[in-house]
């Protein structure tokens, strides 16, 4: 007989007909040795089918959930990867991008401005790590004011000007020498020899008028320092300023008893002024500043120097012998807050292109390194000093602390990532724990199972749990330690099923043997 039971959409066809049997003459049923009769148990098969369906549904939902979680994890990993790549690319771009330094210089058309323009062009052509952005000013005073206000990173100014508190020397653009001379009186028509000049030294300037080339008041201030150091009352010396374009007027002014120029020894302005006054007023008499060393000691911004002979003219020699004087430097100064690395790179680049600049602007040949051994009023920037001394810090010296910090940061990020991963996979770990508990319960059920069908059902459930656990392990949701613990309880279940199956087989065999023996005795 067959029965069909429908449970929702589940149809089960169950046979209730026993296996072929033989009947003895007494009408009793014979038992064939080696054969087992199975009488369908409708309730058992229905429960097994429903359990199988529920298990399949649960497995499908778990697989879908794991797939969604795997997709989310992949998207999260991609997002983190793009974030790290973007941060690395941004850091690399910032590291390789040329540093642009604003340099204030003026006035336009001056030697300083031409030198800075040529310097900026050379840096731009050779794609250096540092580039310059010139800022036009009306002169050194305005340039230094912009530096002090933080509107410029570098500035070109004379060393005896009022410097901002943060200003530090980077390089010497040129040295300006003080040249003082007095004309000799023109010889009369019947004179047989030239007259001697009435001013022979600086001390003779008292009560006379000096024509100073350049309208900047700093030259007049320097003259007052020289007069005071030479014992001359500066108030008794009159000063008249002339522009660099007024050399002819300077030479023809009969009220002037002496002249002063401040500039490089090869300055065309100074040479033209000396020659013009010689033509108009007679051979020049160069005045030595005998107190130059004392001035340099009292005022570190000045230096004691000598004017070599014949520097302004060879025949006749002007001057005829070396002349003691003082000098003041034109400097490239930087703000103290500009990084050591940036200033060091600028310093190296400047002296790498100096010769190329000098071919365009002759004044660039005077660019020199600051003297670290001299006690100057303005300190040398640490970046330039490191290059001069050869003590420039290496890449590891500069960024070693950042590397260690980066390693600690990466370690922290790794720990946070591991924690986040465990947090995101907490449901899988909870499922793994519940699976272990379920297998332990299945061990107890296996030891008390009444049929091989129950053992087979337990084995199938265990197979589904194993498949799900291995998928979780492949996804990284289950660690090796957890998988090892899962293996222990799985071994217990396998042993329990094997032992119970053997016990059931022994019981069946004994039952069959007992039935056979009883039939034989009755026969």
* Contact residues for 128 (Cβ-Cβ < 8 A; gap 6+): 98, 345, 349
Show pLDDT as tens, one digit a residue, over the chain (523 residues). 344 434 333 333 333 333 343 344 334 444 333 333 333 344 444 444 455 555 555 556 666 666 666 666 667 667 777 777 777 777 666 666 788 999 999 999 888 999 999 999 999 987 668 999 999 999 999 999 999 999 999 999 999 999 999 999 999 999 999 999 999 865 343 444 455 568 999 999 999 999 999 988 999 999 999 999 999 999 999 999 999 999 999 999 999 999 999 999 999 999 999 999 999 999 999 999 999 999 999 998 999 999 999 999 998 999 999 999 999 999 999 999 999 989 999 999 999 999 999 999 988 999 999 988 877 778 999 999 999 998 877 656 666 677 777 778 878 887 877 777 667 666 666 777 777 888 888 888 888 888 888 888 888 888 888 887 777 777 666 677 777 877 888 888 888 888 888 888 888 777 777 777 666 666 5
- Backbone region of residue 8 per phi and psi (left: phi > 0; alpha: psi in -120 to 50; beta: other values): left
- Tell me how far apart the alpha carbons of residues 66 and 432 are, in angstroms, rounded to a whole number: 13
Antiparallel, parallel or unpaired: β 209-213 and 238-242:
parallel
User: What size, in residues, is the chain?
Assistant: 523
Q: Strand, coil or helix: what is 258?
A: strand
Q: Do residues 170 and 347 make contact, with C-beta atoms less than 8 angstroms apart?
A: yes
């Amino acid at each position: 007989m067959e029965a069909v039971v429908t449970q929702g959409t589940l149809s089960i066809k169950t046979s209730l007909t026993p296996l072929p049997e033989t009947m003895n003459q007494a009408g009793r049923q014979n038992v064939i040795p080696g054969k087992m009769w199975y009488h369908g148990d409708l309730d058992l098969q229905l429960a097994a089918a429903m359990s199988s369906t529920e298990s399949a549904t649960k497995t499908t939902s778990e697989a879908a959930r794991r797939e969604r979680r795997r997709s989310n994890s992949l998207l999260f990993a991609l997002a983190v990867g793009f974030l790290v790549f973007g941060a690395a690319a941004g850091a690399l771009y910032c590291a390789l991008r040329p540093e642009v330094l604003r340099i204030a210089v003026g006035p336009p058309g001056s030697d300083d401005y031409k030198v800075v323009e040529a310097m900026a062009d050379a840096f731009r052509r050779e794609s250096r790590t540092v580039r310059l952005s010139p800022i036009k000013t009306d002169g050194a005073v305005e340039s230094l004011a912009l530096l002090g206000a933080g509107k410029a990173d570098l500035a070109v100014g004379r060393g005896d000007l009022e410097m901002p508190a943060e200003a530090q020397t980077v390089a010497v653009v040129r040295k300006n020498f003080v040249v003082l001379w007095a004309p000799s009186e023109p010889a009369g028509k019947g004179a047989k020899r030239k007259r001697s000049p009435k001013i022979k030294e600086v001390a003779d300037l008292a009560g006379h008028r000096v024509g100073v080339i350049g309208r900047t008041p700093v030259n007049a201030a320097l003259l007052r320092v020289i007069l005071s150091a030479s014992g001359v009352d500066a108030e008794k010396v009159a000063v008249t300023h002339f522009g660099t374009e007024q050399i002819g007027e300077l030479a023809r002014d009969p009220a002037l008893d002496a002249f002063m120029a401040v500039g490089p020894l090869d300055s065309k302005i100074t040479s033209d002024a000396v020659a013009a006054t010689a033509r108009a007023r007679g051979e020049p008499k160069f005045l030595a500043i005998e107190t130059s060393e004392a001035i340099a000691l009292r005022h570190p911004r000045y230096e004691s120097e000598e004017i070599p002979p014949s520097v302004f003219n060879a025949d006749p020699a002007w001057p005829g012998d070396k002349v003691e004087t003082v000098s003041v430097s034109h400097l490239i100064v930087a703000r103290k807050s500009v990084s050591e690395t940036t200033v060091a790179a600028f310093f190296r680049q400047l002296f790498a292109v100096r010769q190329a600049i000098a071919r365009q602007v002759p004044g660039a040949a005077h660019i020199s390194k600051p003297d670290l051994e001299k006690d100057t009023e303005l300190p040398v920037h640490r970046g330039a000093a490191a290059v001069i001394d050869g003590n420039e810090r290496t890449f590891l010296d500069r960024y070693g602390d950042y590397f260690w910090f980066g390693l600690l940061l990466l370690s922290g990020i790794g720990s946070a990532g591991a924690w986040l991963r465990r947090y995101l996979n907490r449901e899988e770990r909870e499922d793994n724990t519940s699976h272990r508990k379920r297998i332990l319960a299945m061990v107890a059920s296996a030891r008390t199972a009444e049929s091989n069908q129950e053992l087979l059902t337990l084995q199938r459930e265990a197979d589904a749990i194993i498949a799900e656990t291995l998928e979780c392990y492949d996804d990284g949701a289950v660690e090796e330690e957890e998988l090892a613990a899962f293996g222990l309880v799985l071994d217990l279940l396998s042993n329990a099923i094997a032992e119970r199956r053997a016990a059931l087989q022994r019981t069946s065999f004994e039952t069959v043997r007992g039935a056979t023996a009883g039939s034989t005795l009755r026969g």
